[in-house]
Amino acid sequence: MTATTAAPALTARAVLLDMDGTLVNSDAVVERCWRRWSEKHGLDFDEVIHVVHGRQGYASMAVLLPERPMEENLAENREMLAAETADMEGVVPVPGAPAFMASLVGLPHALVTSADVPLSTGRMAAAGLALPEVRVTAESVGASKPDPEGFLKGAAELGFDPADCVVFEDSEAGILAGRAAGMRVVGVGPRAARFGPTVHVDDLTRVRVADAGDQGLRLTFG
């Protein structure tokens, strides 16, 4: 059974969707790639994997190797993105994601992801999910989550005030970014519960979306 925190329905003008861990379960690939990186640099994998979720690779590297020049982080990030894009084994939709995405068709929504265009396109396709028309990817921003830039850009592209948007996120960095943008946050999955989302759900199987007319859209849980 999918659990949620006790919460009323949320009314919003638009929803902004993270990808990895929120719509797509890519943990197997992420762990394979970052385990190799951890071994290369002599770092403890358990500490590394705690940092990397939600951030762009170069930003994770900057946290993990704080003395290293950013140019090296950016170079290795390009290598990491290429490796992740080439590896789709085990990429599957988060439970409930196909129906949830189908329910958003015709309603204002955007993808806001730390992945770049090739990686986000590949993972959404591997999971059998359609890409939203509006997408904010790594190429679109100058700062990684937990900076709110991506969510603020997503709201602006959809034409709505940040306070009128609801974010769906799984990671600490993503939830902090959504809150910093002044948005309500639905935390998805086990990582999200402890980072203070407005609502927490185990997955997307019990999230319902309805057209609320002049009020925008209505989200219910459970």
Omega before 146 within 30 of 0, i.e. cis: yes
Is residue 161 part of the annotated active site? The answer reads no
Is residue 164 part of the annotated active site? The answer reads no
Residue 207 phi, psi (nearest 5):
-90, 130
Which of 20, 116, 164, 170 is the catalytic position?
Answer: 20
Among 186, 130, 172, 141, which residue's Cα sits nearest to residue 16?
186
Q: Count the Cβ atoms, other than its own, within 10 Å of residue 2.
A: 14
Please, are residues 73 and 58 in contact by the beta-carbon 8 Å criterion? yes
Each residue of 181-214: b (16+ CB within 10 Å) or e? Answer: bebbbbbbbebbeebebbbbbbbbebbebeeeee
Which of 18, 147, 170, 202 is the catalytic position?
Answer: 18
Q: Which residues are catalytic, by number?
A: 18, 20
